[in-house]
Amino acid sequence: MPVVAAALAAVLLPWLWKALVHLVWRPYAVSRAFAAQGVNGPAYRFFVGNTGETGAMQAAASGESLDRGSHDTTTRVMPYVRAWTSLYGKVFLWWSGPRPVLNVGDYDMVKRILSDKSGLYVKPDPGPSIMAMLGNGLIFSEGDVWARHRRVVHPAFAMDKLKMMTGTFEASAREVIVGAWEARVEAAATTKEATVEVGEQFTELTADVISHTAFGSSYRQGKEVFMAQRELQFMAMASMNKVHVPGLEYVPTKNNVRRWQLQRKVRGTLMAIIEERMAAATEAKGYGTDLLGLMLESNNAGDGGRRVMSMDEIIDECKTFFFAGHDTTAHLLTWAMFLLATHPEWQQRLREEVLRECGGAGTPLHGDTLNKLKLVTMVLYETLRLYGAVNVMGRQATADVDLCGVKVPKGTMLSIPLVTLQRDEEVWGRDAGEFNPFRFKDGVGRAAGHPNALLAFSLGPRSCIGQNFAMLEGKTTLVLILRRFEFEVAPEYVHAPADFLTLQPQHGLPVVLKLL
């Protein structure tokens, strides 16, 4: 027995010591180091950190709704950031379990982080659910892998290529949105108006658009990917704000088994599409002019015809631009509709611009014409500022760093709260909480007191590669709607923005439509 006890002690003591350092000593040391620099925050609680407080504040906020004239989504989606900023300032320390998180609410610090090219600030591990949904593509890859992927994917999103997709954007919007809405209004013989839940409609539209523009003739299989990714999104949301237990993702729980099934379905579907496209190319039919075809063509343009990315890497990039290409654009359109429906004077301004630059309902749209829509662009930018798809961006320090005078220990999580930065009155002015598209009249770079303060597409080398795609699709859809409909928010609408990985109306957005 003494031998067994000694053996157990030899195994357990080092493990217990590491756990003690990780769960007790390091949080104490990190808190003291930040406090010595004037950076404070809520006290660390053993193992759980501040997850109890964040969860309680989030739960309390979820039962409240906002006035329709209020655009302060912070109180609902990140109430703890609002509470702790008022107590500790824009830069404070809090704890996600035993991990230190530095809230970076200072624009100079944010610019330093996002502009870094040396690998000091990398994206943290998003967890198995989000990785299953998005893959290790441009969003999460780092270093040489990211640079290699960017070289392959970038040509597919060149503006000249995107302008050629305007016809696809228009055809999908006419079928999924305009045609369906016209039928609903005309069916209301007496009132000549109809109430439509536009959030669901825009999700259907953007899934249709990305299915066609990404996979061309294989768009029906693309819709299968969409359905699987939607389920993975709900699973990822359910896992948020929970303390991560290492190794739990490998245990065959009900959720894990379902996640593995969905992963296999997505991978199998995408692999079938890609292999079919590659087989067609060998028969001299080409890769196609959709996003997948352009990416495959670029991928085979390495030295000596060598492929730059493997099959798994191509699949991950397909996951990335498929999800990002429909989810974020759907919510941009949803919130733009809300803002235009609650600001009829702006709705009319845009309609006049659209009819002047693009002509009436029967006139086909062209990419060059859409780029002339200055007011529409301003409204979309203001929508992204107030109701951007992402509320927070995360990075992790890979070494001890000096961040604008604050010494940050290696391993510290850096949380960039877009939801408060985009409403910072010191940067955006006293009307930061109001809908005022005119702030963008001189372009994005001059809209605020800090250059390039709009962070909806991030900035620096990791800025969103699909931002022109999203803006072009958004403009196309709004043009078609404004030429045919007048709209207002339905009386039953409850203004309750919620974080479902992306910012969405918790109870949908019912809108009353009238034909012009």
- Residues near 450 by Cβ (< 8 Å), separated by ≥ 6? 107, 427
The C-alpha atoms of residue 462 and residue 387 are separated, in whole angstroms, by 21
- Residues near 335 by Cβ (< 8 Å), separated by ≥ 6? 383, 386, 387, 503
φ, ψ for residue 450 (rounded to 5)?
A: -115, 130
The C-alpha atoms of residue 382 and residue 453 are separated, in whole angstroms, by 12
The C-alpha atoms of residue 487 and residue 391 are separated, in whole angstroms, by 28
**Alpha carbon distances (Å) from 257 to 220, 249, 261, 269:** 26, 10, 6, 18
- Residues near 261 by Cβ (< 8 Å), separated by ≥ 6? none
The C-alpha atoms of residue 490 and residue 36 are separated, in whole angstroms, by 53
Token digits for 515? 């034909």
Question: Within 10 A of 46 (CB to CB), how many other CB atoms are there?
Answer: 9
Closest C-alpha to 242, from 97, 130, 41: 97
- Residues near 361 by Cβ (< 8 Å), separated by ≥ 6? 480, 483, 484
How is 6-61 classified by DSSP, letter by letter? HHHHHHHHHHHHHHHIIIIIHHHHHHHHHHTTT---SPP-TTTBTHHHHHHHHHHH
The helix (H) or strand (E) run that includes residue 423 is none
Four-point Cα dihedral 64, 68, 72, 77, nearest 10: 40
User: Which 3 state secondary structure label does DSSP give 193?
Assistant: strand
Token digits for 506? 């918790």
Residue labelled with tokens 């080092």: 14
Spell out the alpha helix ranges (H) of 283-423: 291-299, 311-342, 344-358, 367-370, 374-387, 418-421
Computed from CA positions of residues 228, 233, 234, 238, in that sequence, does the dihedral angle turn out positive or negative? positive
Residue 404 annotated as binding? no
Contact status, residue 319 vs residue 266, Cβ threshold 8 Å = yes
- Residues near 503 by Cβ (< 8 Å), separated by ≥ 6? 73, 77, 331, 335, 387, 388, 389, 390, 391, 497
Binding residues: 464
Binding residues for heme: 464
